[in-house]
Structure 1
Amino acid sequence: MTRRTVILTTNPGIEDIVVWEAEAKLSAEAIEVRSGHGRVLVSVDEKKIYLVEQLRSIHRAKLLLARNGICGSQDCLRKVYEVVAASGVEKYVTPYTSFAVRAERVGEHDFSSLDVARVAGDAVIDAVRRAYGERPPVDLDYPAVVVSVDVIHDEIYVSIELGGEMSWHRRGYRIYDHPAALKPTLAYAMILMSDVVDGDTLMDPMCGGGTVAIEAAMLLEHSRIICMDRSRRHIAGARLNAKAALVENRIRFIVGDATRLSSYVEDVDVVVSNPPYGIRMGSPREVRRVYREFLREAVNVVKKSIVLITTEHKTVRRVLEEHGWRITHARKVAHGNLYPYIVVAKPG
């Protein structure tokens, strides 16, 4: 059995979810996991690499060709060339396949990501010419093969993008784009953190464009899924997204106010939600009022767990503990330019 190293990228903060999912679906073995870095290295049976597209918690997957140390001086661009040229990239790029280099640079260096891409591109062309006697075509817009060259602080990674140019967190069902949409990778992670089991009732009482409900309907075959929002426009958009995802019939849609939750449902097993916070509500005082009123209702309706992503985690903790609930888990994650917390709470 030949095993290959694959780089999986994700939202910083849910690396452990990626490892769990890769182990469960790919029989992968974790090689390197750095919490908060958004990158996980796993070892996968070569025959199972095609299954990586089933992972719901990742943004991209890259087949690692080479990894080496690198310094930050201008002279170390020569190291970029050497590592790429010796990586075996010619097995994936030929004179009959167009390619492009995508470079990322993180840290302090005397060169830019454009410099890395330029030098790496020269190395790919030279490696292919040595192997085949001809140079490969370069196509920066629609390449058949994407060679990824990442310089992360003092290391360089050369890899082949397994999913092409499209990030896998951009689900095809996002017809309606909510102005503060939750990334599906985070929605998926939150559902797993809720300890929901298939057959439970899961509700998102502030569902926006329906991301949580749709991800839940894809994951849970026998569960009742409820998507509620006070905006008719958002509910209409959520329904469009669910229809595009082919799960519209699995979800109950309600136009309703989460601060009066018990008026719409008597009991649910799990609530998973991305409630409004920060500038979305205009006033911190108004945000906290909504949270207090919503949570006072939720503790009387929810039986198993409440999972929220919010920058108002201190308010969430205080209100829930006042009502006899306990915070069983909290973690900071990256979401756009914000760093909210995912908070998991259970009764008692």
Structure 2
Amino acid sequence: MGFYTHYALFLILSLHVLVSSLIILSVNSYSKAEYFIMVNTKYYVTTASGLEDVTWAEISTKLKNVTLDEKKPERLLFNYSGDHKNLLKIRSAENIYIHIGTIKGLTRSRNSLGDIFRAVSSFDFDNALLIHKELHGGKGKKRLTFRIYSSMDSRHNFRRVDAQNSAVSALEKKHDWKLDLETPILEFQMDLENDSALFGLKITDERLHRWGYKNSHVPASLKPSIAHCLVLLSNPIPSDIFIDPMCGAGTISIERAFAYPYQQIIAGDISGESISSARENIRSSHKSIDLMFWNVSAIPIKDRSIDKLVSNLPFGRQTGSHSENQYLYAIFFKEMKRIMKPNGKAVLLTTERALMKNIIARYRDIKIDKQIYIEISGLRACIYVLNF
């Protein structure tokens, strides 16, 4: 071989050694390495049943170099090779995980417990630990602590906790990590479904990264992830004058403030408890939101002044009743029709499907753009996207 051939081989070998030195990590402790090589990594997110497409729309909009690998009810698997910190900008997902591996070929037999132990023992955690450290920090060498949550939606001749304990034993014996059920450094999730088990490392920390503002709650308050999905369905744009007329703890309005720029956000409620709760959460969010006390039968807003309206209507279960909703929904729709601009959009969440069908039929100029059925707190609810 000539000089240039030898030189090219030398460069390739040197690059290989450099990359290897940057991504090698002791599985017993965090590395002190300050450099990070971004590689294509598989992740998965969990979301409310029925909102998978909304969550994927947010992921594919906010992240570059991302491809969908698999969509299942309440879960999306995807490949991503960009800046891992951008993952924490995804607000419509309940949790985000690094996909460590999938255990296949499980049976109903207790022999599968050994298969789980061997599979978890063989998993490569190096890249996942680097990403976790990149997102959450970690100083010096420290023995890693962990816990595992698990689910099992199919019948086996062993309990969910038995499968979980097999995975715990694998991590303790293979990596010398310490089980910590209170304040672990690492939190794993293992989901058994028929003949396979999905194993992932959770990278979201709701209190620290996404939903730390929600310190106060009221009955029937929405999860921020679902609230964000409702906001996304309103097609937010910077010129929006946005309103939530039954704001509760203020979650929807705050999530709108986190979604995109806006001209004005207005939130209101008739409940003093809700106003106090919303005020506390808005203060924690550091967002500019106008909070008002009102009755939806007489909203103090000018005619045709609102671009987008998003609200979680009373279901008549935890708050109110069906008979109360019959009156409330009727007067609310009358006020909503008055304050919405032509070509405005409303997104409403409720379980009162028959009542909504009856009331919407009274307004010829309110058109149903979408109806999305979701599971929320064990109830089948519907999201109505309405065009004016």
Q: 1:51 aligns with which of 86, 100, 113?
A: 86
Give SS of 2:178's match.
coil
Counterpart Cα distance in 1 of 2:102 and 2:169: 18
What one-letter code is carried by the residue in structure 2 that aligns with 1:254?
Answer: M
- Secondary structure of the structure 1 residue equivalent to 2:101: strand
Asked if the contact 1:73/1:111 (under 8 Å) is kept, the reply is yes
User: Which residue does 1:140 correspond to in 2?
Assistant: 181
> How many pairs are equivalent?
334
Distance 1:92 1:126 in 2: 19
Match of 1:337 in 2: 378
Supply the distance in 2 between the matched residues of 1:170 and 1:314 (Cα, whole angstroms). Answer: 35
2:252 equivalent to 1:212: yes
Q: Name the CA shift for 1:161/1:72 in 2 (closer, same or farther; >3 Å).
A: same
1:246 aligns with 2:293: no
Q: CA deviation at 1:271?
A: 0.9
- The question of 1:60 aligning with 2:98 is answered no
2:276 — aligned with what? 236
211-220 or 97-106, larger mean C-alpha shift: 97-106
**8 Å contact 2:237–2:261 — kept in the other structure?**
no
1:203 to 1:288, Cα distance in 2 relative to 1, 3 A:
same
- Structure 1 residues 91 and 55, CA gap change in structure 2 (3 angstroms): closer
CA distance in 2, matches of 1:229, 1:63: 40
The answer to whether the aligner puts 1:287 opposite 2:325 as a matched pair is yes
For 2:122, the equivalent position in structure 1 comes to 86
Distance 1:44 1:311, change over 3 A: same
Residue pairs, 1:256-271, within 5 angstroms: 256-261=294-299, 263-266=300-303, 267-271=305-309
Q: Which amino acid aligns with 2:94?
A: H
1:201 aligns with 2:241: yes
**Letter matched to residue 88 of structure 1:** D
Q: CA deviation at 1:167?
A: 7.6
Aligned residue identity for 1:152: E
Q: Does residue 312 of structure 2 align to residue 274 of structure 1?
A: yes
Q: Distance in 1 between matches of 2:227 and 2:208?
A: 14
- Show the 5 A alignment for 1:81-230: 81-89=117-125, 96-128=143-175, 135-163=176-204, 171-230=211-270
CA distance in 1, matches of 2:215, 2:172: 39
- TM-score after normalising by structure 2: 0.80
> 2:347 — aligned with what?
307
Larger Rg: 2
Unpaired segments ≥5 residues, structure 2: 1-37, 130-140
Match of 2:367 among 316, 326, 329: 326
Moved more, 86-95 or 210-219: 86-95
Q: Equivalents in 2 of 1:169, 1:344: separation in Å?
A: 29
Structure 1 residues 284 and 168: alpha-carbon distance in aligned structure 2, compared to 1, 3 A threshold:
farther
Contact 1:313 1:343 in 2 (8 A): no
1:321 Cα deviation from its structure 2 partner: 2.8
Q: What is the SS of the residue equivalent to 1:278? A: coil
Aligned equivalents of 2:209 and 2:331: distance in 1? 32
1:122-141, Cα deviation, whole Å (9 max, x unpaired) = 1222322xxxxxx2322222
Q: CA deviation at 1:220?
A: 3.2
Does 1:20 pair with 2:57? yes
Q: SS of the residue aligned with 2:376? A: coil
Structure 1: which 5+ runs fail to align? Answer: 129-134
Note the aligned Cα RMSD (angstroms): 2.2
Deviations 1:322-342 (A, max 9, x none): 211111101111222222111
Distance 1:50 1:72, change over 3 A: farther
Give percent identity, aligned residues only: 25
Residues 1:148 and 1:175: Cα distance change in structure 2 (over 3 Å): closer
- Give secondary structure in 2 for the equivalent of 1:333: strand
**Structure 1 residues 283-334: Cα deviation after superposition (integer angstroms, max 9, x where no partner):** 3121121101111221222121111100012322331232111111011112
For residues 167 and 61 of structure 1, the distance between their equivalents in structure 2, rounded to whole angstroms, comes to 14
Mapped contact 1:147–1:158 kept (Cα < 8 A) = yes
Separation in 1, partners of 2:127, 2:312: 44
One-letter amino acid matched to 2:87: V
Large movers: runs of 4+ above 4 Å? 90-95, 166-170
Kept in 1: contact 2:316–2:324 (CA 8 A)? no
Instruction: From the superposition, tell whether residues 344 and 56 of structure 1 become closer, same or farther in structure 2 (CA, over 3 Å).
Output: same
Distance 1:167-1:4 versus aligned 2 partners, 3 A rule: farther
Normalising by structure 1, report the TM-score: 0.89
- Distance, in Å, in 2 between the alignment partners of 1:190 and 1:95 is 42
Shift of 1:147: 2.8
